[in-house]
């Protein structure tokens, strides 16, 4: 059976939601970052890590989401088949991986961004991270103006990908989503989905 290695509330929530939307059987394994169990399948010690039913292992959230969307075309989560629809899906997946996710790193792990061990230095890194996240959320906010979902084709894996990052922003950004009403609407739309609620409950109780 396909297996997803995940950590609670991490970016692995995106493939977890996607697997639930697809509706085919799958297993999940809750892991700690850098744990022996995770290192055995992914030397980076990071989630998400996906193992297919024949043992093939895939890492990188964007790649896993794209793979799942195309492996299960009937679920309609890829964002469309035309050249430009594929390019748009790739564009927003890359934006989430490289711009949004990366902007959170200084907030989550400030000690990786300074060799100064003082609290003041760490707070300065966190503050810079907040500014970077805000910059990326402004891009997201503008893109979502007049749109229900990230891609014009409707709900897709890109919405599942945005969801954990929006949850981080709610929790970590000073002011939460106050300045991002369209992002809030996307969040609420996804959070209202029964499959998403099931996944959140499973992760919370694992
Ligand atoms: N570029 C990777 C990043 C994966 C990643 O760093 N995931 C975080 C959780 S959101 C993690 O496992 N962090 C553990 C660590 O950095 O040690 C991807 O997009 O899948």
What pLDDT, in 10s, does the model give residues 129-147? Answer: 999 999 999 999 999 999 9
CA of 23 to the centre of ligand 1 (A): 25
Q: Cα–chain-centroid distance for residue 99?
A: 12
List domains and CATH numbers for the chain: 3-77+195-205 (3.40.30.10), 83-193 (1.20.1050.10)
46 touches ligand 1 (CB under 6 Å): yes
Q: Please, are residues 159 and 79 in contact by the beta-carbon 8 Å criterion?
A: no
What pLDDT, in 10s, does the model give residues 73-117? Answer: 999 999 999 999 999 999 999 999 999 999 999 999 999 999 999
CA of 29 to the centre of ligand 1 (A): 16
CA of 101 to the centre of ligand 1 (A): 9
pLDDT value for 7: 98
CA of 98 to the centre of ligand 1 (A): 12
60 touches ligand 1 (CB under 6 Å): yes
pLDDT value for 4: 98
**Which residues pair with residue 50 across a beta bridge?**
4, 58
CA of 82 to the centre of ligand 1 (A): 30
Nearest CA to ligand 1 atom 18: 60
**pLDDT band, very low/low/confident/very high, at 156 (cuts 50, 70, 90):** very high
**pLDDT band, very low/low/confident/very high, at 29 (cuts 50, 70, 90):** very high
How many other β-carbons are positioned within 10 Å of the β-carbon of residue 170? 14
pTM of the model: 0.97
Measure the CA–CA gap between 117 and 36, rounded to whole angstroms. 28
Measure the CA–CA gap between 106 and 81, rounded to whole angstroms. 36
19 touches ligand 1 (CB under 6 Å): no
What pLDDT, in 10s, does the model give residues 35-67? Answer: 999 999 999 999 999 999 999 999 999 999 999
**Which residues pair with residue 57 across a beta bridge?**
51
Index of the ligand 1 atom closest to the CA of residue 33: 14
């Amino acid at each position: 059976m396909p297996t997803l290695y995940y950590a609670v509330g991490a970016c692995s929530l995106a493939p977890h939601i996607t697997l639930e939307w697809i509706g085919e059987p799958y297993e999940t394994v809750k892991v700690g970052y850098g744990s022996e169990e995770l290192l055995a399948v992914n030397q980076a010690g990071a989630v998400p890590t996906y193992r297919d039913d024949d043992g093939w292992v895939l890492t990188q959230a964007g790649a896993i989401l794209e793979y799942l969307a195309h492996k299960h075309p009937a679920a309609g989560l890829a964002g469309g088949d035309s050249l430009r629809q594929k390019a748009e899906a790739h564009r927003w997946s890359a934006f989430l991986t490289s711009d949004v996710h990366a902007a959170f790193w200084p907030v989550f792990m400030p000690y990786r961004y300074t060799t100064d061990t003082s609290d003041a230095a760490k707070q300065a890194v966190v503050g810079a991270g907040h500014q970077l996240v805000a910059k990326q959320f402004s891009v997201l906010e503008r893109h979502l103006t007049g749109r229900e979902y990230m891609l014009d084709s409707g709900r897709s894996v890109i919405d599942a990908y945005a969801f954990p990052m929006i949850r981080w922003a709610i929790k970590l950004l000073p002011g939460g989503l106050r300045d991002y009403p369209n992002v809030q609407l996307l969040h609420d739309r996804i959070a209202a989905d029964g499959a998403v609620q099931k996944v959140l409950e499973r992760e919370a109780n694992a």
